[in-house]
Each structure stands twice: as structure tokens, then as C-alpha cells.
Amino acid sequence: MAPPSPSSAPAKKRINWLRGNNKVFDTYLSEARAALAAAAQDTDDAAAAAAALGLVTAALEMSPRAEAALELRARALLALRRYRDVADMLRDYIPSYARSCSGDDDATCASSSSSCSSASGDRDRSDACAGAARFLCCLHVSDLKRRLVASFCRSSSTEAQWRYLVLGRACFHLGLMEDAVVLLQTARRLATAAFRRESVCWSEDSFSPSNPLTANSAAASEAESVSQLLAHVKLLLRRRAAAVAALDAGLPGEAVRHFNKVLDTRRSVLPHPFATACLVGRAAAFRSAGRPADAIADCNRALALDPASIPALRARADLLESVGALPDCLRDLDHLKLLYDAALRGGKLRPQGGVQFGEIAGAHRTLTARIQLLRGRVAAGEGCGVDYYALLGVRRGCTRSELERAHLVLTLKLKPERSASFAERLELVDEHRDLEAVRDQARMSALFLYRMLQKGYSCIMSAVLDAERQRAKDAAAAIAEQEEEVATVQENATRKDGGNVVVTTKPEAIPMPRTAVAAATPLSQPFVFCRDTLLSRGGFDRPIPVKCEAMSC
């Protein structure tokens, strides 16, 4: 037997080394699948999901592009509720990534706009040149390579639907509802197509209920959960669209009703970014309905969930300025200016509803001028004149009952003890905030608003009591003046002659007070007499008629 050649020995070693690595790789993946299955059975067991993530990370060090390892890593991150990491891992598949990725300054965008004509050929022809430039300016060469590889993978027919499924769930928890709908629908469509391709070679017995491929399997349960989540997301989007349409149509009460349905949902959890946007929308509806206290309370809840929410800060600053609380409005505007400065320095903006990075520079200039104007008004002494009538939602000159009713309704709704109950139905996505911190922030904001309401109630009540006392004084003075006028008329219209009163004018022409009228009326009790004493009482020639009743002696 011939000895092995020297060149074949390293090749054999390499083959053995690869086989050993493959065995270790498969062992890591099998153990990670078992750990994820255990974590799925016990949702509170985060240790199993963390162990699975560690095993998958070790497996990815051996094979960074293994599809099975990438799937297990994404599912482990989803089980650990690290939704932002999932979105960063699969961001190339997010539909709105091109629109939300606007992170460079205007100079970079202007420099990259010269290559707009050459770059637009690789994208959709309907996109504008500025949009293409803004999209390309936030990508590096490595990002372009990754996008190119992802496009090849998407065009292949062997791609699994786990990317769309896992990313759709992560987008739901991040509050990106439109992206979640698109991704979940794509995942369900791919699963249906795969099922159809596999069922071509099946027999009729394969579709029986006892077949594990069609019933009581993990794939079937996962498909059912995807369908339920998709239906829930579509319902939330329909209700929010109905609320926005009602608000645009000038029906704030209808908008408040639809927003209440979204925020008081009981079917599933509600991610706090989506809840924050709905709270800001309901605050706008309350403001249109003339209920600024309820609108400020919703802005406080939104800022308790997300202290860096630019729409919530804008809305609360406008509300505080409308009721005359200028120092508090200045505090919110200063906070908003800090957020604008951070966005301009960092060159990017966290995705928020209705806020684009291109608007930050203009909004920053406008905000600076507004802050200077408000500081001048506060220095002139306008900061102490809070319009408590507008805050409590009562008219000027209201009665005590109207004021007490409005104050009672607002006190029962906005008392600090009930301010943190809204957070129990929400899911916090931010890893740096917990539920207790949200509750504390909500209580502090609610206590500040509650004190404003109490102060406004006391000020308006004192004004109402002063008005009531003034009205009572005016009424008493009017009665005294009327009585004095009646006495003067009687004194001028009558004269005394030998104890007999001779009326010079008609009696019905003289106004008389009630006491005089009561004294001049006939006796209410009848005069009882008998025949023997009739003549002794003066006869029947009396000027004032007397009611008489006869009685026998």
C-alpha cells in the first residue's frame, strides 16, 4: 500500500475539522431550539431564551450566514422582548425603512443630490429625486452590499417566511402598525404558497385532521397566532383612521369615542408608541371640543410613556399657552428645543408620528423666536393671568351649580390616584423604562394639573360668591327704593281731616306695599254676632264690608 501523499494530509485534517465544526454547530442549534421551546411554554422564563441566544451567538461565530442560526437568533431576541434589536437585524425588510432613514444634515443631502439621476435607476421610477438622495445619504458601502445581497435573497424562491413573521411581530410591538400589517400579510402569503407547493404530492389521506402536518402542529398554531395578530392590528388601524377622519370633519366627540375604543382595548396588549400617538390625537380632539383640562391630562400621559415625544410636547405647550400658563409653556418649549438640538447634532431622529428630520431645522428657528417672545411676555407680567374659566370649561358669569358640577366631573376624572391606571393595559418597549417609573411620572403630572384645577375652582368660586352678594345687595336696595317710593306717593296723595282719611285720588291708582295691602284687606275670620248685639255694633252702615254669620242666642 502506497503511503499517503503529503498534500493529502492537510486536506484530510481540514475535512475532519470541518466535520467536527459541523457537529458542534448542529449541537448548538438543537440545544437552542430546545431552549426556545421551553421558553415558549413558559413565557416568564427569560433564562431559557437568554441561553438560546448565547448558543446561537456561538453558532454564528462558526457560520455567520447560516439561515437556521439567523432564524433562531431573531426568535430568541423576540422571546427576550428586544424588539429594537430584531428591527436592526432585519431592517432591510421593513417597508418604511427608506422613508424613516433620513439621518444626515442638509449639506450631505445636497451633495448627494447630484448623483440622483444615476441612483434613481435602481429604485422605483415614481420616487422623487430628493427622496432618493435622502435615502442614499444615510447608507454606507457595507449597507449597499447588504441590501444587494438581501435583494438577491428576496428574489430567490428558497427564502423562508420567518423574516417577515418575526419582523412583523417586532414592528407591532414597536408601534409600526402599517409595517406590521404588510409584513404579516407577506408572511401569511408565503406560508400559504409553501403549503400549496408541498400539498401537490400529498394523497387525500394527508389532509385528514389526524395528520400532524395539518393539525396540532407548531406551524398551525403559529399561523393561527399570526392571523389573530393581523386581525387585531387591522382593527386598531381602522379605529384610528375613523378617529382621525372624525376630527378632520369637525366632530371631536366622535373622534374621542373612537380613540377611547383604541386605548381601552381588551383583546391584546397595546404597544406604548402607538398608545402615545393615540393619546396625542385624543388630546387634539379634546381641545377642539373645548375641554383643555382633559387634553392636558392626555398629553401628560403621553409624556409619561415617552418623555421625548415631540408631538406631545408641542400639544401640551400650545394648550398651556392657550390657558395663559406661560411659565409652564416655556418649560415645555425649552425641553422641545433640547430635543431639536440633539436631533440636529446627532444627524438622525427617532421615528415619531408626523415628525420628519427635514422639518427640524425650520421648526428650531421658529421655536427660538417663540421662546424669546414668551419670555418677553412673562417679563412684562403676563405670566400670572391664567384663564381658569377656560381651564375648567365654564363660561364667565356662571352660576354656583354649574361651577360645582364642572369641578366635580374634572376632579373625579383627573385625580392623581387614578392617573396611573391607564398604563396597566400597555406594553413598554423601551428597555430603560419600567412601569413604576411611568406611574411616578404620571402621578407627578396629574398632581400638578389637579392643583391648577383646585386653584381655579377657588378663584372662580370667590368671584361667584362676590357676584351673588352684590346681586343680593342690589335686590335689597331695589326693594327699599320701591317701598320708599310707595310711601312718598301715599303721603302726597292723602291728607288727614278730623281723623277721617279723605282719598283725593282713586284707591286703585296708588301702589301700596304688601304690608299696607294686607292691613287694608277684609278680615280673614268672620264676625260672629247675634240679634241682640247687632244694633250695639253700629248697624250695617259701615264703609268697609264685613263678612257676617248669624247665630241664634
- Enter the C-alpha cell of residue 26: 448542529
pLDDT digits (tens, 9 = 90+) for 139-194: 444 554 555 445 544 444 445 678 899 999 999 988 889 999 999 998 888 888 87
pLDDT score of 533? 45
- Enter the C-alpha cell of residue 20: 467536527
**pLDDT, greater one: 535 or 61:** 61
pLDDT digits (tens, 9 = 90+) for 206-236: 555 444 444 445 667 778 888 888 999 999 9
Beta pairing class for 527-529 and 548-550: parallel
Task: Read off the pLDDT band of 10 (50, 70, 90).
Answer: low
Task: Read off the pLDDT band of 260 (50, 70, 90).
Answer: very high
All domains of the chain in start order, with CATH: 16-80 (no CATH), 83-96+137-197+222-249 (1.25.40), 259-464 (no CATH)
pLDDT digits (tens, 9 = 90+) for 465-512: 998 888 889 888 889 888 888 888 877 777 554 445 444 444 444 454
Q: CA-CA distance, 298 to 292, in Å (whole number)? A: 10
Mean pLDDT in residue range 235-252: 94
**pLDDT, greater one: 124 or 204:** 204
Place of cell 407591532: 172
Q: Which of 237-241, 347-351, 423-427 has the highest mean pLDDT?
A: 237-241
Task: Read off the pLDDT band of 43 (50, 70, 90).
Answer: low
pLDDT score of 354? 72
Q: Is the pLDDT of residue 528 over 90?
A: no
Q: CA-CA distance, 87 to 476, in Å (whole number)? A: 76
Mean pLDDT in residue range 273-284: 92
pLDDT score of 437? 85
Return the closest-CA partner of residue 166 out of 43, 82, 57, 234. 82
* Ordered DSSP codes for 270-288: EEHHHHHHHHHHHHHHHHH
Q: Is the pLDDT of residue 252 over 90?
A: yes
Return the closest-CA partner of residue 274 out of 225, 308, 240. 240
All residues at 6 or more sequence positions from 315 whose CB lies less than 8 Å from its CB, including other chains: 280, 283, 284, 287, 295, 299
pLDDT score of 515? 44
Whether the CA torsion 237, 238, 239, 245 is positive or negative: it is: positive
Mean pLDDT in residue range 357-364: 87
Q: CA-CA distance, 133 to 114, in Å (whole number)? A: 8
Q: Is the pLDDT of residue 329 over 50?
A: yes
pLDDT score of 206? 55
Helix (H, G, I), strand (E, B) or coil at 528: strand
Q: Give bridge partners of residue 54 from the DSSP assignment.
A: none
pLDDT digits (tens, 9 = 90+) for 413-459: 998 888 888 877 788 776 667 788 888 889 999 999 999 999 999 99
Task: Read off the pLDDT band of 19 (50, 70, 90).
Answer: low
Q: What is the mean pLDDT of the chain?
A: 75
- Enter the C-alpha cell of residue 121: 435607476
Task: Read off the pLDDT band of 99 (50, 70, 90).
Answer: low
Q: How far is CA 78 from CA 89, 159, 269, 288, 435, in A?
A: 11, 20, 15, 40, 20
Q: pTM value?
A: 0.72
* Ordered DSSP codes for 26-90: HHHHHHHHHHHHHHHHSTT-HHHHHHHHHHHHHHHHH-TT-HHHHHHHHHHHHHTT-HHHHHHHT
CB 326 within 8 A of CB 378: yes
CA dihedral 149, 153, 155, 156 (to 10 degrees): 140
CB 103 within 8 A of CB 349: yes
Q: CA-CA distance, 453 to 448, in Å (whole number)? A: 9
Q: CA-CA distance, 94 to 88, in Å (whole number)? A: 10
pLDDT score of 45? 65
Q: Which of 266-280, 360-374, 496-510 has the highest mean pLDDT?
A: 360-374
Alpha helices in 156-212 (DSSP H): 162-173, 177-198
- Which one-letter DSSP state was computed for residue 402? H
**pLDDT, greater one: 391 or 114:** 391
**pLDDT, greater one: 518 or 479:** 479
Q: CA-CA distance, 541 to 388, in Å (whole number)? A: 72
For the chain, the first-to-last Cα distance in angstroms comes to 169
The percentage of the chain sitting over the pLDDT mark of 70, rounded to a whole number, equals: 68
Q: Is the pLDDT of residue 335 over 90?
A: yes
pLDDT score of 502? 45
